[in-house]
Structures are given as C-alpha cells and as structure tokens.
Structure 1
Amino acid sequence: MRLQRQAFEVFADYHQFYLWDRGMTQEAPEEYTDEDVRRRIKTGPHVVVIQPERDMTVAVEVEIHDAEPACDLDAWDHVAEASLHLRTGRLQVHECTGGPVAEFAIEPGWYRVRSHHGGFDTIEEAGTDGDDHYLAVLWPAPADDVRILKQWDPGSPS
C-alpha cells in the first residue's frame, strides 16, 4: 500500500539528483564509472543518486510504500533498483547544485529504491527540451546490489 507521495520539479544539474538520509549525509559520490552512467543509478553511504537523461528541470515523483509494489516495465524506458539505508528516517530529495526539494518522515531502516525513467522519446535532439519524467518508489527491504530491471538503449526507439 502506498503510504506517501509527492510530485515536484527538480533541476537535474549534472544529470543527477539525490535521495539521502538528511541526518547522515550531505555528500554524494563523485567518482563515476561508465557502468554507473549506463545504470542511471549509483549508491553511496546513505545516498542514492538518480541520473536523469537531461540536465534540466525534470518532473519527479517519490512514493513510499509499505511493501514492494508491482512494476509495469512496459510503461518506462529504464528501470533500476538500489538500496538505501535511512538510519534517521528522514528521507530528503536534493538537487545536485541546489537544495532540498522534498522531505519524508519514514521508519528508519533499509529501503529498496526503484528508479523509473520515462519519456525519453520526447527529448529533442539538442537535449534541452522534453517531457521526460522520473518516479522513485521506496519500500522497506534488506540491502541488496544495484539491479537493472530494464536497460534503456539510446540506439533503439523507446
């Protein structure tokens, strides 16, 4: 069951925004591999970095669930999962070069973050305009490795 939901816009400078434990970190990973970029998700201590396609203002929704929700892979261009430890239970959504855009009070513990990326076919060639959108869904779950459920291939249609 969905417990909380917020929708907002995020300035995804440097193609990233963060989900982190407000009380544990204010720093995101700085070292990226080609694999991190391909996955469009990266983890660090108490932080998950979500990497949008455009480095512009993008639409983002965050949902908190009490258990793993269903996922319609056909509705999205790219879907990835990672784990996030929220020791203080204060989940904050943060812009890369800006400040926080949303905050959630949830039970402390480990969460799974499923990052959905959609609307890539609306992005114009210059990459500045488009209706790409992002959904981050969290639920309590033991720590696990990053996993790609659907890989976007920029060479094929969405």
Structure 2
Amino acid sequence: MKTPRRFEYDVFADYFQFYLQDESAESNLGACWTDEAVERLLVVAPPGTIGIGTVRNMSVPVAVEVAGAQPDPDFESWDYVAECALEVPSGRIVIAGCTDYFPDAPRIDVEPGSYRVRISYGALDSVSEDGLEGRDHYRLQLWPAPSTGLRILKPRVA
C-alpha cells in the first residue's frame, strides 16, 4: 500500500474539542455535544463536520494521515479508537479549534468524496491534576469509503 500523506499540528482544543470539516461545511456543533457525545469524545454533524473531544483545554498534538485505502488496525498503543464518516465535496479539509480564526486554519487537499475517519486517542490518563499538562495525543486517519455510521473500535476503559 502507498504510504499515507501525514500532517502534524498543534491544535488549540478550546472547550475540550477541535474540528475536522469540509471547507464548505457550515455545521454548528453546539447542540450536538450531548452528554453521550462528550463521553465518547466524538460528535458527527453531517454534512461535512466532525468534532473531536479532548481531555485537555489546551493545545494538543494532532496527526492527520490521508491514505488511499483503509489502514491496518494498530489499536494496542491507543486508549480509545472510533470511526465515523466525513463528506468532503469541496476537496479541502480544514482542521481547527472551535475558536480558531477559520480563514487561517490549516487545509488538506483531497479528492472530493466520502471518507472514513478513524480517530485514535492516546495517553488520555496522562493529564496533570490542574488539567494543563499532559501527553495526550490524537491521530486521525482518513481514506475514501462509502458513508457509514459511527463505530467504537476500541472502547475507552474507565
């Protein structure tokens, strides 16, 4: 399989969240963050927006990998893994904190279409008592796939 394109960011996870969305999407995730969504650290707002919950209200390291096919599972080193769909009709994905200035947020060019997004959450229990320091990190793997619902692939152990 061809090596995926990889991008690394430090994203300001204000309000314990950041977004991955189609550049043309106009979804508002405010009402989508139900108690259940907060617990699973993920919300989907079709068309074209997902919100990824974090365990810190600070800048967090995020890696985004764009592949041509579904990656092999490698869940052992991750605390929690979920998947969902993302529609990208514009061919440009934006990654941003919810209070970031959208025009300045990073973009990733992809082929327009439907994608599967696998979100892997690591070191979730490493956050300091004051919530400011931690080694938590997040990986988002995307590949072209038909739009299907949200799935938890590796549950978070409480």
TM-score, scaled relative to structure 1: 0.91
**Could you list the runs of 5+ residues in structure 2 that have no partner in the other structure?**
none
Letter in 2 for 1:38: E
Length, aligned pairs only: 153
What SS class does the counterpart of residue 106 from structure 2 fall into? strand
Instruction: Please list every run of at least 4 consecutive aligned residues from structure 1 whose deviation after the TM superposition is greater than 6 angstroms.
Output: none
Task: Indicate the larger mover: 93-102 or 48-57.
Answer: 93-102
Residue in structure 2 matching 1:153, options 147, 151, 157: 157
Instruction: Work out the percentage of aligned pairs sharing the same amino acid.
Output: 40
Say whether the 8 Å CA contact 1:28–1:49 is kept in structure 2. no
Structure 1 distance, partners of 2:3, 2:28, is 27
Q: Do structure 1's residue 139 and structure 2's residue 143 form an aligned pair? A: yes
Deviation at 1:58, TM superposition (A): 0.5
What SS class does the counterpart of residue 21 from structure 2 fall into? strand
Say whether the 8 Å CA contact 1:119–1:132 is kept in structure 2. yes
Corresponding residue number in structure 2 for 1:53: 55
Corresponding residue number in structure 2 for 1:102: 106
What aligned pairs does 1:1-150 form with structure 2 within 5 A after superposition?
1-25=2-26, 27-31=27-31, 32-44=33-45, 45-100=47-102, 101-150=105-154
TM-score, scaled relative to structure 2: 0.91
C-alpha RMSD of the superposition: 1.3
Structure 1 distance, partners of 2:125, 2:25, is 37
Say whether the 8 Å CA contact 1:40–1:80 is kept in structure 2. no
